[in-house]
Amino acid sequence: MQFAKENGHFKVKNLSIRSFKIIADGALGSHGACMIQPYSDEPENYGMLLKTPSEIKAVFEEAKHYNYQVNSHCIGDSANRTVLRFIDTLLSSTPDHRWRIEHAQILHPEDFELLSQSGALPSVQPTHAVSDQRWAEDRIGKKRLNNGAYAYNSLQKSSGMVLFGTDFPIENYDPFATIHAAVERKNIENEPLKGFISDEAISFEKTLKAMTLWPAYGCFEEANVGSIEKGKTANLVIFDQPVKSHSNFLPNYSWITIINGEITFDMR
């Protein structure tokens, strides 16, 4: 908080600092995600919050005081509910706060409305779903899996937008793996054949927004980046093949990369 107090919103070259990250709970795979009901494969285990509710609230209040965002790592439905309730309470009078829920991996079905009214933005990584698909049902059971887990379509409808990332180096940073996971709900080996929880697929058009303009909005940069418009920074890539989605994974590669209006990579 001392940095925020002394510097406010800080920007130098391509680096912008105006947010804090809170790790609210652990990961689903290690049974550390904080759940409302116990794990299906460990009936005595609910996971855990890594910070107490009072600690989380204290960080939120200071961040609000310094006009900083808070981006909260929330995997389990209990962690998501706890953080969303705090956001809804603290920022009800600040509609354009753009505080983010990082991962938003499992939400209780009743909490999608809470997400909508809180104004929080879900920031997710589509490849998580297709990486976890082999064991996720073991952790939380079929009912929870199909009612609020990896629910990117439902998240987008609730909040009006969803922000996509990769969680590199934990996950594959290939943007075309992200597209394939979001639209086809498959990994780059094209598994599973019919897609993982395919009802939660995002359209190709919304996926492109979730990788460009919506993340720019999520960090208050939509006036500078996120789309090709006059007056915005020229960060562009010309690909070897047309950018599209297909039922089978299609790799693609940069032919020309332009950053800040300058060609930084050229295969011509």
- pLDDT tens readout for residues 174-221: 999 999 999 999 999 999 999 999 999 999 999 999 999 999 999 999
**170 pLDDT more than 90:** no
Q: How many CB atoms lie within 10 A of CB 78?
A: 22
DSSP for 192-223, written as a single string: STT-TTGGG---HHHHHHHHTHHHHHHTT-TT
Residue 13 is predicted with a pLDDT of 85
Give the domain 2-229 fold.
TIM Barrel (3.20.20)
Residue 196 is predicted with a pLDDT of 98
Residue 93 is predicted with a pLDDT of 86
Element (H, E) at 77: helix 77-90
d(CA 120, CA 138): 29
Q: Which residues contact 142 (CB under 8 A, 6 or more apart)?
A: none
d(CA 140, CA 117): 26
Residue 95 is predicted with a pLDDT of 83
Side-chain-side CA neighbours of residue 250 (13 Å): 12
- pLDDT tens readout for residues 208-248: 999 999 999 999 999 999 999 999 999 999 999 999 999 99
**172 pLDDT more than 90:** no
- pLDDT tens readout for residues 117-142: 999 999 999 999 999 999 999 999 99
- pLDDT tens readout for residues 3-28: 998 899 999 988 999 999 999 999 99
Question: Which tokens in the block code for residue 35?
Answer: 């759940």
Which pairing describes strands 236-239 and 254-259: parallel, antiparallel, or unpaired? Answer: antiparallel
Domain residue ranges of the chain, discontinuous segments joined by +: 2-229
- pLDDT tens readout for residues 142-161: 999 999 999 999 999 999 99
Residue 91 is predicted with a pLDDT of 93
Question: Which one, of 85, 77, 118, 120, lies nearest residue 101 by Cα?
Answer: 120
Give, rounded to a whole angstrom, the gap between the first and last alpha carbons of the chain. 47
- pLDDT tens readout for residues 56-75: 999 999 999 999 999 999 99
Task: Check residues 94 and 232 and name the one with the higher pLDDT.
Answer: 232
**40 pLDDT more than 90:** yes
Element (H, E) at 128: helix 126-132
* CA distance readout (Å), 156 to 98, 153, 203, 207: 14, 5, 11, 10
Question: Which tokens in the block code for residue 32?
Answer: 């550390």
Residue 260 is predicted with a pLDDT of 92
Q: What is the pTM (predicted TM-score) of this model?
A: 0.94
Strand extents, DSSP E, the chain? 10-12, 15-17, 19-23, 69-74, 100-103, 121-124, 163-164, 236-239, 254-259, 262-266
